[in-house]
Amino acid sequence: MGPAIEERLQSEQYLGLVRKAFRIWDEADTEEKRRYAANIVTNSAGTRVCSDDVVRLFLDWLEGFHEAHFAVIREIYQNPGSTRYEIWTNLYGDVPRDDSAEADLFKLLMHDMGVGHVVRQERDVNQLGQFVRKTPRRAARGSAPTTMKSAFDDIDRYVLTELGKQFVHYTMNEVVTRIEGGGGG
């Protein structure tokens, strides 16, 4: 290990991350969560893709998310632009009724990750990276839908946010590779 990594390993900021990760590891219900906690500690030691504040956020997500969240994140990472229908069918198969507990759970998972800025609906951007407003789709007069949008919608597409992509790199990869164009923090 080089002197920069040696210095990092001895820093109070890094040791704080290690202590938090060990608490999460100790309280984890599954081996998967333990592996993710270890990955965060290992990957944040040698790579500075994001700041320690962001790594702490990743540890918070790790602590608060369930394995079902991680399954959805992996699915969107592997298949960017998937619809809720595609995500569900790839993970679980047959689509349940919209008034089922499974539909409620799936809506909750998607809500948690949307509010946490891990996933979002796919959007167009201009050359400056700014999101472009969608042109509203107007229904013909008198042809309003009679049902609400399904929990398993097959129209809107989902992607990981940039923060979500970094979360995947820090938690779900055994060894982080530098994200293209990524800066250190």
Q: Which residues pair with 125 in a beta bridge?
A: 131
Distance separating alpha carbons of residues 83 and 69, to the nearest angstrom: 16
Asked if the model's pLDDT at residue 25 lies above 90, the reply is yes
Distance separating alpha carbons of residues 136 and 113, to the nearest angstrom: 25
Q: Which tens digits make up the pLDDT trace of 117-144?
A: 999 998 888 888 888 888 876 666 667 6
Cα–Cα separations (whole angstroms), residue 45 to 2, 19, 127: 12, 13, 34
Q: How confident is the model at residue 179 (pLDDT cuts 50, 70, 90)?
A: very low
| Between residues 137 and 53, the one the model is more confident about | 53
Is 169:176 a contact under the CB 8 Å cutoff?
yes
Asked if the model's pLDDT at residue 181 lies above 60, the reply is no
Quick one: tokens of 118? 């891990």
> What CATH class has 3-125+149-171?
mainly alpha
Q: Which tens digits make up the pLDDT trace of 74-115?
A: 999 999 999 999 999 999 999 999 999 999 999 999 999 999
